[in-house]
Structure 1
Amino acid sequence: MDLRQLEYFVAVAEERNFTRAAQRVHISQSGVSAQIRRLEKELGTELFDRSGRSAELTAAGEAALEHARAALAAAGAVGQAVGEITGLLRGNLGIGMVIGCAVTPLFDALAAFHEAHPGVELSLREDNSDRLVHDVRTGSLDLALIGTETRPEGLDCLTVVAEPLVAAVPPGHELVGPEVSLAELAAHPVVCMPPGTGLRAVFDRACATRGVEPVIALQASAAGAIADLAARGLGVAVLSESMAAEFDALTPLPITDAREPALLALASRPGASAAARELIRYCRTAFRISDDQVSSSEVTPR
């Protein structure tokens, strides 16, 4: 017997129909029937009862089915193992990215990975960090670039950016100066990201630690929208240091008592697939993360 015969046998067993099985394996019905007959002749018994309208397994067929599936799975595992060694990766890779965070090094890594491994189909979607973490945990995504304040429990995490929050105000605002405290900031309406995002988690924790209760006037998922609202005088923007630096219309102010960094990190499940591990390697190169940084960033700072 050969793997092709076992594949056709499993297809007929699952479809309970020779025609549908032939469509599934992309050959003619007569070809499937001939291979099943050869397999039955080799085994010395019929595997299907063909007397009815559907192809039902005989007792021998029932006994053979589990082993046929196991043999096909083992053959697939052999191919995957060899593929991992040779770099001929195949399959699908689901990647998540936090909303409103267009990070060029991630796109560079995706492009380089795709060029090296065109057999891997990539999909990319945006969401807030809480949902991305949930989807990585459940396997809906293979890895995700998330904003966070601490390492998500049960996941491997590679920090790519760690930077403080800043308040950002337009010229002439009464807070303009060398720095600002959370209490001073909270005396004004605040424009920030919504719950479920890493920046908001860092900001909320800092305020709670110091007993400050800010008034969140407006929320937006994109840094550009937050900056635009703040520039129009609708509130003080709370952004990461690098985000605020992108907007000339705002003056960034260090927050003296909110020094815990906001983290941008790649989250993946322990025992991630070879394709996911390979993409993380490309991300390390794109984000210029050294081996020393990797060893320290895998234990996320708090």
Structure 2
Amino acid sequence: MELRQLEYFVAVAEEANFTRAAEKVHVAQPGVSAQIRRLERELGETLFDRSGRTVTLTEAGAAVLPYMRAALEAVAGAKQAVDELTGLLRGRVAVGMVTSCRAGDLPDLLADFHKNHPAVEITLSEANSDVLVASLLAGALDLALIGSVTGSVPGLETSIVTDEPIVAAVARSDSFADRAAVPLVDLRDRSLICLPKGTGMRAALDEAAAVAGFEPRIAFEASDPGVLADLAGRGLGVAILPSSLAETRRDLHSMSITEPGLRGTLALAWRAEGPRGPAARALVEHARSPRAGSSIASNR
């Protein structure tokens, strides 16, 4: 029985498909099928039912699956123990980034980490902040750059990257274009342009509006703040934007939002009990360094 056979078996069991399993283990599909057949001959039992549209475990396959997984975990643990003794870090880290955030120097942060730990596999995905938070809490992500109202999220530890005012921005021909500030309640009957639900900036708007006793009239939603600014610049409504973006737009007039003032934060977040593996712990320590935080913040 070979280690690769165990790996292929677990991959097919998880994917319920030989082709997807082959892609997962980076081997041609015939190679996976051949090794599974060899494993079945050695064990003297059929491990998969191949008669349906999806591949399912037989009774024998279901019985051996926990042992196959345990064997692979034991081998991974042995490799990790040796790597820790020799100073080589291995493993995989999963990073998330809020969709509405401009990447800034996050690629540089990850590249620096990869340079120090070349044997660690890094994956990066985008989603709204609520999805990222759920993924962090579930252990699907090790680190994420999220937008939030306060920067504090139950079950997570955070390191603030940016904290800035959220402003209202309109075209220079708008009737509000002579105002320096606007009370939030004055936006009650205006068509608003904002990020979708699940983002930190939208949560700040919705929570403040609820306290003020009204529901915002969202006319346009987009996950890219630049698109929000473009829509407002064409006179389609009032854009709710981070001040750093609004101030760069010559076609827009930005106003402070008052009563209450709105603020948005961008924060690095990870599980409060700490990442599960040494690779993830190393990435968190790298991301928490002042150099890494200021690098991302400078490009928000």
Tell me the TM-score normalized by structure 2.
0.70
Give the Å deviation of 1:23: 4.2
Amino acid at match of 2:148: T
Is it true that 1:275 corresponds to 2:279 in the alignment? yes
Is it true that 1:288 corresponds to 2:294 in the alignment? yes
Q: Map residues 240-251 of structure 1 onto 2, 5 A cutoff.
A: 240-251=242-253
Identical counterparts, % of pairs: 42
Match of 1:287, SS state, is helix
Structure 1 unaligned regions, length at least 5:
33-48, 56-61, 290-302
Comparing 246-255 with 120-129, which one deviates more in the overlay? 246-255
Match of 1:277, SS state, is helix
Q: 1:263 to 1:53 in 2, by over 3 A?
A: closer
Q: Is contact 2:100-2:128 (8 Å) kept?
A: no
Is it true that 1:95 corresponds to 2:77 in the alignment? no
Q: 1:175 to 1:91 in 2, by over 3 A?
A: same
Q: Is contact 1:91-1:121 (8 Å) kept?
A: yes
Q: Map residues 1-302 of structure 1 onto 2, 5 A cutoff.
A: 23=35, 73=73, 76-81=76-81, 83-84=83-84, 87-150=87-150, 151-176=152-177, 177-269=179-271, 270-272=273-275, 273-284=277-288, 285-288=291-294
Q: d(CA) in 2 for partners of 1:228 and 1:235? A: 10
Q: Is contact 2:99-2:223 (8 Å) kept?
A: yes
Q: Is contact 1:105-1:287 (8 Å) kept?
A: no
Give the Å deviation of 1:253: 1.2
Q: 1:201 to 1:51 in 2, by over 3 A?
A: closer
Q: d(CA) in 2 for partners of 1:183 and 1:93? A: 44
Amino acid at match of 1:77: G
Give every structure 1 segment of 4 or more consecutive aligned residues whose post-TM-superposition deviation is greater than 3 Å. 5-15, 19-24, 49-55, 68-76, 81-87
Tell me the TM-score normalized by structure 1.
0.70
Q: d(CA) in 1 for partners of 2:7 and 2:106? A: 40
Match of 2:254, SS state, is strand
Q: 1:85 to 1:167 in 2, by over 3 A?
A: farther
Give the Å deviation of 1:87: 4.9
Q: Residues 5-43 of structure 1: CA distance to partner in whole angstroms, max 9, x if unpaired?
A: 99599789999xxx989948xxxx8xx9xxxxxxxxxxx
Amino acid at match of 2:281: R
Q: d(CA) in 1 for partners of 2:45 and 2:132? A: 47
Q: Residues 72-111 of structure 1: CA distance to partner in whole angstroms, max 9, x if unpaired?
A: 7456435424535765222222111111312313222011
Q: d(CA) in 2 for partners of 1:69 and 1:196? A: 36
Q: Residues 166-217 of structure 1: CA distance to partner in whole angstroms, max 9, x if unpaired?
A: 1111223222322111022233211001111111001111111222433111
Q: Is contact 2:6-2:72 (8 Å) kept?
A: no
Give the Å deviation of 1:220: 0.9
Q: Is contact 1:157-1:265 (8 Å) kept?
A: yes
Q: 1:117 to 1:246 in 2, by over 3 A?
A: farther
The higher radius of gyration belongs to: 1
Q: d(CA) in 1 for partners of 2:257 and 2:274? A: 39
Q: 1:188 to 1:52 in 2, by over 3 A?
A: closer
Match of 1:276, SS state, is helix
Q: d(CA) in 1 for partners of 2:102 and 2:81? A: 34
Q: How many residues align?
A: 252
